[in-house]
Amino acid sequence: MDLRINSEYGTLKSVMVHRPGKEIDRLTPYNKKLLLFEDVPYLEEMQREHDFFTTLIRQSTGAEVYLFHELLMEVLSDKALLCQLMSEALSVSRLENLTEILMEMLSTSECATALVAGIKVHEVKRKVKDIRLDNLMDLAFLIPPSPNLYFQRDTAAITPGGIFFSSMRMEERQREANMVRKIFEHHPKFKDKIVQRYPIDGHGSPASIEGGDIIILSEKAVAIGNSERTDEKAIYHAAKSLIAEGTVERVYEVHLPKKRNFMHLDTVFTILDENLILTYPDAFQAVLKTSLYTLKEDNGDQVHIKRTVLKESLLGILQKEIPHLEIIHTGHGNPDYALREQWYDGANVFGIGPRRVISYNRNKYTNRALRDVGVEVLEIPSSELSRGLGGPRCMTMPISRAKV
């Protein structure tokens, strides 16, 4: 069966996550901003929190939880693929000519670690003498680390019409998306089940789109954030590809302020059931503009779509697409709590089934607001996981959900 998902809340059947590892220990006060972190986390505690999260997913849903690193190791038995990923990784520092030496020197498992945690010049110099390394500073990265990899959501998205492979806005995150794409394209569990919707040409694309900006409103409608990370051109191509496939009929473009605390649409709202959403109270006012893509003409060979700038706000769109919409506000109605909890992604809960979510324990007022309307809230410890500025939804890539 093709990989397709038609809601944000159908009972979870399988999901991919990444357990944070050595890449987190690469963060320092000096490189954290560049690597999109707000702080320098304590890895071992972060791993305990993440293990709690994955165990909770398994126990509460019975879902299959795939670990990114295990899947990566399985596809890297293909040496050509490994070589391609290593060369891409080295090209960030314009050192792709070192691919061969590194591959001779490192085992497949060490290469997999280097692809995720990066590798520094002195770590290689210890093992190999090569003139090309002599002019490089010992502490420089040959391959920079990918500490954001545990935010699996952003690297790809499975929609009712098929899968999107992200083209990341920040160069620092592109390797994450490349590796996830290789897993879907080559792993025996997935490779025959993917229906690719983006990029259109099957190659890279200069326009950027990230999974955290894609929210499934229903089988027929998808919302995409035009945000700090996703741009207009990508949304046009994504909308065209989705509409041409035929399942999805409406793609909404939601313009967010280009600000870090609204970096993706899923920091603004999440859908918890057929008529229930959770949002940060100021979020709807922050949405600047909305547009709608629909089919204009399908002449058999080519599909044309049209874009209509809407008068409706984000709230108007949601009310139209989600009958009897009920809205829960983060912070339990208190603006100070809402502000504090938005910083730690209060609205970014992970739906594991209708009215069942996983949420950070630190977002206590939001959790109370959810419980007050009968949502089952499973809490996870969050003092370290939250330092990368993403929540439980950001940390997951659902692969299959029960159809709703």
Ligand X SMILES: NC(=O)NCCC[C@H](N)C(=O)O
**Could you give the residue numbers annotated as active site?**
394
- Radius of gyration of the chain measured on its C-alpha atoms: 21
Q: Which amino acid does the sequence have at 64?
A: E
Q: Is 162 in the site for ligand X (CB under 6 A)?
A: no
Q: Which is nearer to ligand X, 82 or 344 (CB)?
A: 344
**Which residue, among 226, 342, 228, has the nearest Cα to 281 in the 3D structure?**
342
- Choice from 212, 331, 346, 392 touching ligand X (CB under 6 A): 212
**Which residue, among 116, 215, 224, has the nearest Cα to 173 in the 3D structure?**
116
Please name the residue ranges forming H helices in 118-170: 121-125, 131-134
CB closest to ligand X, residue no: 212
Question: Please, what is the minimum distance in Å from the beta carbon of residue 79 to ligand X?
Answer: 31
Q: What are the φ/ψ torsions at residue 25 (nearest 5 degrees)?
A: -70, -5
Handedness of CA 71, 75, 81, 87 (dihedral sign): positive
Q: Which segment (73-81, 145-153, 282-290, 370-378) binds ligand X by CB under 6 A?
A: 145-153
Q: Which is nearer to ligand X, 243 or 397 (CB)?
A: 397
- DSSP for 9-35, written as a single string: SSPEEEEEE----GGGGG--TTTTTTT
Q: What are the φ/ψ torsions at residue 18 (nearest 5 degrees)?
A: -120, 125
Question: Please, what is the minimum distance in Å from the beta carbon of residue 201 to ligand X?
Answer: 25
- Choice from 102, 177, 251, 263 touching ligand X (CB under 6 A): 263
Q: Which is nearer to ligand X, 171 or 297 (CB)?
A: 171
Q: Is 164 in the site for ligand X (CB under 6 A)?
A: no
Q: Which is nearer to ligand X, 161 or 391 (CB)?
A: 391
Q: Which is nearer to ligand X, 68 or 243 (CB)?
A: 68
Question: Please, what is the minimum distance in Å from the beta carbon of residue 129 to ligand X?
Answer: 37
Q: Which segment (195-203, 263-271, 292-300, 330-338) binds ligand X by CB under 6 A?
A: 263-271
Question: Please, what is the minimum distance in Å from the beta carbon of residue 131 to ligand X?
Answer: 37
HSE (side-chain half, CA atoms, 13 Å) at 40 = 8
Q: Give the three-state DSSP class for 157.
A: strand
Q: Which is nearer to ligand X, 259 or 304 (CB)?
A: 259
- Choice from 152, 267, 270, 330 touching ligand X (CB under 6 A): 267
- Choice from 388, 392, 397, 401 touching ligand X (CB under 6 A): 388
Q: Is 153 in the site for ligand X (CB under 6 A)?
A: yes
- DSSP for 359-377, written as a single string: EETT-HHHHHHHHHTT-EE
Calpha distance 272→373 (Å, rounded): 12
Question: Please, what is the minimum distance in Å from the beta carbon of residue 32 to ligand X?
Answer: 10
- Choice from 209, 394, 397, 399 touching ligand X (CB under 6 A): 394
Calpha distance 299→95 (Å, rounded): 47
Number of residues engaging ligand X in binding (CB under 6 A): 15
- DSSP for 257-319, written as a single string: PS-GGGSSGGGTEEEEETTEEEE-TTHHHH--EEEEEEEEEE-SS-EEEEEEE-SS-HHHHHH
- Choice from 266, 273, 341, 384 touching ligand X (CB under 6 A): 266
User: In the stretch 24-43, what mask flags binding to ligand X with x, by CB under 6 A?
Assistant: ------------x-------
| Helix, strand, coil % over all residues of the chain, rounded to 5 | 40, 25, 35
Calpha distance 116→114 (Å, rounded): 5
Q: Which is nearer to ligand X, 99 or 167 (CB)?
A: 167
Q: Give the binding site for ligand X (CB under 6 A).
A: 36, 148, 151, 153-154, 173, 212, 263-264, 266-267, 388-390, 394
